[in-house]
Structure 1
Amino acid sequence: MLLSLSREGFKIKIIPVFLRYDYGIKSRGDSLEYQGFYKVLKQLSDEIYPFWYDEYLTKKDELQKRVIKFVDDIRPDIVFFILMKDEFSFETLDYLKNKYITINWFCDDQWRFENFTKYYAFHFTYAITTDKFALNKYRKIGYENVILSQWASFGFTEDIDFEAIKYKYNVSFVGGISGYRKWLINKLEKAGMKIECFGVGWGNGRINFNEMVDIFKNSKINLNISNSMSHDIRYIFSSLRSIKEFLKSKKRIEQIKARNFEIPAFGGFQLTNYVPCLEDYFDIGREVAVYISFDDLILQINYYLNNDEERKKIMINGYKSSCKEHTYFHKLKKIFKELGINL
């Protein structure tokens, strides 16, 4: 059974235990925890006291002492974690759980449940998963306080005039380079398509959140390309490196990511690889376009570049859906409601 914090006149006090910068590296810019979760928590409550632990990533022993002291000084109602790996010891997590309500957002249950989540879940009062297929896994290990949620957009652009958009790019991709992504983009370009790529490892380099938003809106087609292990045999046998990658990679299951919601929320048309459960959030073919193979991807790029009206309809429908349902404001408010807190 889920606990309830509901009481009249209750003012929730939350400590987010987050990384301030992407992977704790300042040069990489703001983290998703900051842009998405922290900013929304600030909208939901006036009493948000963040503990940024970037500087302690290489000082694990000191981190345990610092976080315990910080939390005990504030005495919050909830301590909200988004663990990356083993930054916090079981002893620290148990100490906090015994005194406060603690929550962890488990990011990758699709492929990390067996080697991470099942060991950490019991050290939190609540676990949040983005994988509905993991719910039975939680039950099998005897963990009941699990909440199903989903990634989302960190915001949205209001009142877009879609008819006034002057497109800069026909096709773009935003995301870090990987072996598969590089292979796919190269094949598209060999097929005569120009793809503008942005992110770590690409020629255009890393971009900030504001630049990303601008690219989404000003691209006729925004590609969303998987970062999981590809099962396309053409890629697997394209090099010795890709064969080794296929044999070693643990990321063999596709998963919905924040990008699925960010692209439409900022006015972009999204053409994404199919991900299980995407249909739970978007009406495929009406709010998002989906490809299932490389050949299908070429077919759909050409189709939507030559069918503007249909592309715009899907784009606008996806925009409306994301703005209405798929931001962190919506997701976090729903989570707290399940906890018995109306913010």
Structure 2
Amino acid sequence: MKIIKDIVLNIIGFIQYTKLVFNRKYFDLVVGDIDPLEVLKLKLQSRKFAFNKNQKINFFLIFSINNWESIFIDEFKKFGLVKHFNWKNVDKFFENRDLWESFFDNLNHQILNSFDEYYNEVDNFVVFLYTSDFCISNETIIKIQRKNVLIISFCWDDLLYFKSKVKGQPIGVSKLSKAVDFNLTMSPEAISRYLYNNSPVFFWSSLKRNDLNYEFKSSVRDIDKFYVLFIGSKYGWRGKFISKLIQKGIDVVCFGKGWENGSITFDEMINQIKLAPVTLGFANVGHTKSITTIKGRDFEVPLFGGLYLTQYSRGLSYYYIINKDVLTYNNFEDCVNILNKIKSNPMPYEIVRNNGIEKAHENATWNSRLLFLMDFISKL
């Protein structure tokens, strides 16, 4: 049974790897040196968009709260009035397309009604979406479009799930990305895919917080008890990778969907990260092994006081100095070697932990990203 499972994982991983590598090379070649800012300016001009510089900005947020997403509400409130449209999270696909269409039509009707109740012709409005083609239609976006409304979409899983279908139900943002004014991504490798669709897209960077006076108070850790913490779902190669670590004599404690310990709350996750000698991360996309992207844990672990060891991803260098602020590995053997070094001599790695904490609080918070976004908007 184990052999069959490994064969299936290999096949799925190969298919995803081949598709992603081909798409990336093809789109990079076709797109060439297209300037996304020029694409955006032409798009805004064509629909006569214009903010009134003397008026405030109101925010209309469209996303379903499943876990951490409520932080968007708190952070946007620092910049203006906020209305959030929420709906019960759909954690699996509908049995057939007809059921999905009923959900889809009803949801879009509610979104439009909610926005119309909030909108006025005097103020400026930013509509921020963290959703997908599964939930929102281009027709809804077009109806929301007005002269004083800027529409932005953010997607975290666009490298793997840019365009696909399950049971006739769309996933990804291929349609949505065309309809909105511009897109934000955490995957530099996904940018050419958007531009191929003539969809303006920008890597969601951040502005460094120079006004912070943050002092991290280290939690009491038992440095004589070494273990590795992992928090995340069990899928793809994660299970096999962690099993091999255990076989090497490394104690690993796992939380999340699919693991024996199950999931934990957000507050419990913060506490676990603070206490753990080291927290492990995976950057691979889907079932692939070597195609990587930025993950949420890349920011959460240092922000919550953790020493972070994760698979190398190009996007990490946008935020951290590799192996000074966070640790990275390139393969299983590399990971084992680093973990054994931490285990045998943990004190030098407390410097890395504290560097990561400081760097994350400077430029990897949602507030710093919204500062970047608001600065970007002000220049349009």
TM-score tier after normalising by the smaller chain length: 0.7 to 0.9
2:129 corresponds in structure 1 to 81
Q: Secondary structure in 1 aligned to 2:56?
A: coil
Aligned residue for 1:277, secondary structure, equals helix
CA drift at 1:79: 1.4
**2:83 maps to 1:49:** yes
Structure 1 unpaired stretches of 5+: 23-30, 233-251
Query: Offset at 1:169?
Result: 5.7
Q: Supply the distance in 2 between the matched residues of 1:341 and 1:71 (Cα, whole angstroms).
A: 25
Query: What displacement does 1:122 show?
Result: 1.9
Partner residue of 2:269 out of 212, 219, 222: 212
**Using a 3 Å threshold, how does the CA distance of structure 1 residues 63 and 305 change in structure 2: closer, same or farther?**
same
Among 150, 156, 160, the alignment partner of 1:101 is 150
Counterpart selection for 1:130 from 186, 191, 207: 186
Deviation sequence 1:64-109 (CA, Å, 0-9, x none): 1111111011006121111144211221121112463211102223
The 5 A counterparts of 1:138-177 are 138-143=194-199, 145-149=200-204, 159-162=215-218, 164-166=220-222, 170-177=227-234
Count of residues in correspondence between the two structures = 307
1:319 aligns with 2:357: yes
The residue that corresponds to 1:248 in the other structure is none
After superposition, the Cα gap between the structure-2 partners of 1:298 and 1:54, relative to the gap in structure 1 and judged at 3 Å, is: same
- Which residue is equivalent to 1:11? 56
Partner of 2:248: 191
How far apart, CA to CA, are the structure 1 residues paired with 2:272 and 2:116? 43
Q: Which stretch has the larger CA shift, 104-113 or 281-290?
A: 104-113
Match of 1:244 in 2: none
2:298 matched residue in structure 1? 260
Partner in structure 1 of residue 105 of structure 2? 61
Contact 2:150–2:181 (CA<8 Å) still a contact in 1?
Answer: yes
Offset at 1:230? Answer: 5.3
CA distance in 2, matches of 1:157, 1:222: 25
Tell me how far 1:192 sits from its aligned partner. Answer: 1.1
2:114 is the alignment partner of 1:70: yes
Per-residue deviation at 1:191?
1.2
Distance of 1:113 and 1:231 partners within structure 2: 16
Give the match's secondary structure for 1:66. helix
**Residues 56 and 170 of structure 1, relative CA distance in 2, 3 Å threshold:** closer
Contact 1:97 1:123 in 2 (8 A): no
Q: Cα–Cα, structure 1 residues 280 and 55, in superposed 2: closer, same or farther, change >3 Å?
A: closer
Tell me the equivalent position of 1:283: 321
- The 3 A distance-change label for structure 1 pair 55 and 218 is closer
Counterpart Cα distance in 2 of 1:65 and 1:7: 31
Contact 2:127 2:151 in 1 (8 A): yes
Q: Matches of 2:379 and 2:114 in 1, distance apart?
A: 24
Structure 1 residue 163: Cα displacement: 7.4
Deviation at 1:229, TM superposition (A): 4.3
Contact 1:5-1:339 at 8 Å conserved across structures = no
1:330 paired to 2:368: yes
Normalised by the length of structure 2, the TM-score is: 0.73
TM, length-normalised to structure 1: 0.81
Contact 2:64 2:89 in 1 (8 A): no
Q: Is the 8 A contact 2:226 2:343 kept in 1?
A: no
Matches within 5 A, 1:210-249: 210-226=267-283, 228-229=285-286
SS, match of residue 77 in structure 2:
helix
* Residues 209-233 of structure 1: per-residue CA shift (max 9 Å, x gap): 111111111011100124524556x
Structure 2: unaligned runs, 5 residues or longer: 1-39, 45-49, 92-99, 165-171
Equivalent in the alignment of 1:294: 332
Distance 1:178 1:290, change over 3 A: same
The secondary structure found in structure 2 opposite 1:50 is: strand
Q: Residue 274 of structure 2 contacts residue 305 of structure 2 at CA under 8 Å; is this kept in 1? A: yes
Query: Is 2:310–2:327's contact at 8 Å kept on the other side of the alignment?
Result: yes
1:321 counterpart letter in structure 2: K
